[in-house]
Amino acid sequence: MTKTLPYTKAEMEKIIEKHPTPFHLYNEQAIRENARKLLAAFAWAPGFKEYFAVKATPNPYILKILMEEGFGADCSSLAELVLAEKVGITGENIMFSSNNTPAHEFVKAKELGAIINLDDISHIEYLEKHAGMPEMISFRYNPGPLRSGNAIIGLPQEAKYGFTRKQLIEGYSMVQELGVKRFGLHTMVVSNELDPYSYIATAEMLFDLILEIYQATGVRIGFVNFGGGIGIPYRPGEESVDLNLLSREIKRAYEEKIIRQGLGPLRITMELGRMITGPYGCLVSKVLHKKEIYKNYVGLDACMANLMRPALYGAYHHITVLGKEDWPLDHMYDVTGSLCENNDKFAIDRHLPEIVPGDIVVIHDAGAHGHAMGFNYNGKLRSAELLLRPNGEVKLIRRAETLDDYFATLDFDSLDE
């Protein structure tokens, strides 16, 4: 896959006239079309639901678009629950997949009628005590050494999440006695994974487990959630996961392991984030400075507070210098931000066209786990989010923070008391 952008330099300059860089820019039409592709691929699956992982892009305008397309919300915190509620996503359209959860978050999730997905067997008693047991409950499974995870998420047996297999069996029996009537099963073992067979293996593993749970406890699982984790082609040459292949293989496993065993109908659900919005958002920035010492640097007006993935995981994000798309990539730069951290680099030793201060640099695939991971270290202010509407209008969907926002939690007046 070659990496292109749906914006020309002239179009972007027009946007920048009104909205100063840096900002994240999302493409509504592309998000909608992608959402429809996923739903169409899984149209065969009874009651199929994608609960968009709110943590990926926690902006109400994005959530509303996805709600209109038929998605629910996967929330992992109180703030995400409130965000979903404000957008109008409530009841079983919310999946609450949290861990180390405080009591008040369970209370809020229960109030909203969300599907509560417990991360640990000890949370059964905790939930019962603080919020009361809902009619439906889901458990998160950690397969431990049975699966290898992948680079970003790590080994399941070293991950803090989920129940062991033995705890699952015990847990379903416990909640059955507490009056729970409907049951779900969830896992998430990969992150940013481009191999569809890894996600298919997760489906097969859960389908097998559903039979085992039924045989051991008599509990019939009503829905499975395969988690998030489908990757996107961040690098040129990588390909998106083939949703039709994914769907076809999951359907084959569903028929063999669920229908043939008399365990249907089983609702199939997911909580993808990155794959839903990642490719359809970018970080737009301007070059402030160039610096030539032992290496050549270009310095942007964005920094890792706007997009942390390269600094955090050494992740690759493609970079386009607008207006220079066809220039030879005959210069090599470290593309840096202004944070006092040496790993504040969007790219290291990247071959790019010659860059000069004032150039507009667009960092691709920042539509998920991008702005969302922002932070205020070094007094960096979180930047704006913009939405390109299908009619060509550009809407500000989150304003940039101001210094007043940054200082809002401090009381300077009582300094001398």
Ligand X SMILES: Cc1ncc(COP(=O)(O)O)c(C=O)c1O
Q: Which residues are catalytic?
A: 340
Q: Does 123 bind ligand X (CB under 6 A)?
A: no
Q: Which amino acid is at 234?
A: Y
**Contacts with ligand X in 92-121 (CB under 6 A)?**
97
Q: Does 191 bind ligand X (CB under 6 A)?
A: yes
Specify the stretch interacting with ligand X by CB under 6 A; choose among 222-230, 291-299, 333-341, 346-354: 222-230
Nearest-approach distance from CB 124 to ligand X, in angstroms? 19
Specify the stretch interacting with ligand X by CB under 6 A; choose among 9-17, 170-178, 223-231, 374-382: 223-231
CA distance 190 to 172: 25
Q: Does 54 bind ligand X (CB under 6 A)?
A: no
In sign, the C-alpha dihedral spanning 376, 98, 108, 399 is: positive
- With contact defined as beta carbons under 8 Å apart, do 210 and 266 qualify? yes
Nearer to ligand X, 12 or 189 (CB): 189
Nearer to ligand X, 52 or 254 (CB): 52
Nearer to ligand X, 308 or 339 (CB): 308
SS (H, E, C) the chain: CCCCCCCCHHHHHHHHHHCCCCEEEEEHHHHHHHHHHHHHHCCCCCCCEEEEEHHHCCCHHHHHHHHHCCCEEEECCHHHHHHHHHHCCCHHHEEEECCCCCHHHHHHHHHHCCEEEECCCHHHHHHHHHCCCCCEEEEEECCHHHCCCECCCECHHHCCCCECHHHHHHHHHHHHHCCCCEEEEEECCCCCECCHHHHHHHHHHHHHHHHHHHHHHCCCCCEEECCCCECCCCCCCCCCCCHHHHHHHHHHHHHHHHHCCCCCCCEEEECCCHHHHHHHEEEEEEEEEEEECCCEEEEECCCCCCCCHHHHHCCCCCEEECCCCCCCCCEEEEEECCCCCCCCEEEEEEEECCCCCCCEEEECCCCCCCHHHCCCHHHCCCCEEEEECCCCCEEEEECCCCHHHHHCCCCHHHCCC
Nearest-approach distance from CB 117 to ligand X, in angstroms? 8
Q: Does 143 bind ligand X (CB under 6 A)?
A: no
Q: Does 185 bind ligand X (CB under 6 A)?
A: no
Tokens of 204: 């097969």
Tokens of 394: 């550009």
Q: Does 72 bind ligand X (CB under 6 A)?
A: no
- Find the binder of ligand X among 274, 309, 371, 380 (CB under 6 A): 274
- Find the binder of ligand X among 58, 171, 228, 281 (CB under 6 A): 228
Q: Does 225 bind ligand X (CB under 6 A)?
A: no
Nearest-approach distance from CB 288 to ligand X, in angstroms? 31
Q: Does 321 bind ligand X (CB under 6 A)?
A: no
Specify the stretch interacting with ligand X by CB under 6 A; choose among 118-126, 195-203, 226-234, 399-407: 226-234
Specify the stretch interacting with ligand X by CB under 6 A; choose among 108-116, 184-192, 298-306, 338-346: 184-192
Specify the stretch interacting with ligand X by CB under 6 A; choose among 17-25, 29-37, 49-57, 304-312: 49-57
Tokens of 113: 């009628």
Nearest-approach distance from CB 190 to ligand X, in angstroms? 8
Nearer to ligand X, 12 or 56 (CB): 56
Nearest-approach distance from CB 366 to ligand X, in angstroms? 13
- Residues 6 or more apart in contact with residue 272 via CB below 8 angstroms: 38, 50, 52, 53, 228, 229, 230
Nearer to ligand X, 196 or 228 (CB): 228
Nearest CA to 372 out of 132, 163, 77 is that of 77
Nearer to ligand X, 59 or 320 (CB): 59
- Find the binder of ligand X among 56, 66, 109, 335 (CB under 6 A): 56
Nearer to ligand X, 21 or 192 (CB): 192
- State phi, psi for 363 to the nearest 5 degrees: -100, 120
Binding mask 229-268 for ligand X (x = CB under 6 A): xx--------------------------------------
Residue ranges of the annotated binding site for pyridoxal 5'-phosphate are: 229, 271-274
Residue closest to ligand X when measured from CB atoms? 228
Specify the stretch interacting with ligand X by CB under 6 A; choose among 25-33, 224-232, 240-248, 387-395: 224-232
Nearer to ligand X, 315 or 396 (CB): 315
Residues forming contacts to ligand X in the complex (CB under 6 A) are: 53, 55-56, 74, 97, 188, 191-192, 227-230, 271-275, 368
